[in-house]
Amino acid sequence: MAGDRPGAVTDIDVAELQRRLAAFAAVRDWGQYHTPKNLAAALSVEASELLEIFQWLTPEQSAGIMEDPASAHRVADEVADVLAYLLQFCEVLGIDPTAALVAKLERNEKRFPLPSAVEPPDRHSSE
């Protein structure tokens, strides 16, 4: 199963995650706190908590952090927190996060073209 290995992407729909997060917050009456400013601040805090895990590690230690189950769990939890706040932020502002990412990738491909000697990979291949 794809979700069993680090870096794997599951087939969960982003919109469904946003609906679940919104429902979770709604039944707790947290919507009043989910302003763009507050969500951006919470996102920054959670990203900082992710960074804190890696703060004093060597490059080698950071590359192997997922080998230790306790460290892997901490990293995954912080990634989940960052993603949750980012998805809530996008929901509140009406941003489609996947469309925003696709548009940004397309702008970056034009902004940072490959050297003419290098062929770009086929973005639509199944490999």
For the stretch 9-29, pLDDT in tens is 777 899 999 999 999 999 999
* pLDDT for the residue 12: 82
* pLDDT for the residue 2: 45
pLDDT over 70 at 124, yes or no: no
Percent of the chain at pLDDT > 90 equals 79
Indicate the burial class of 117 (C-beta count within 10 angstroms; 0-12, 13-18, 19 or more): exposed
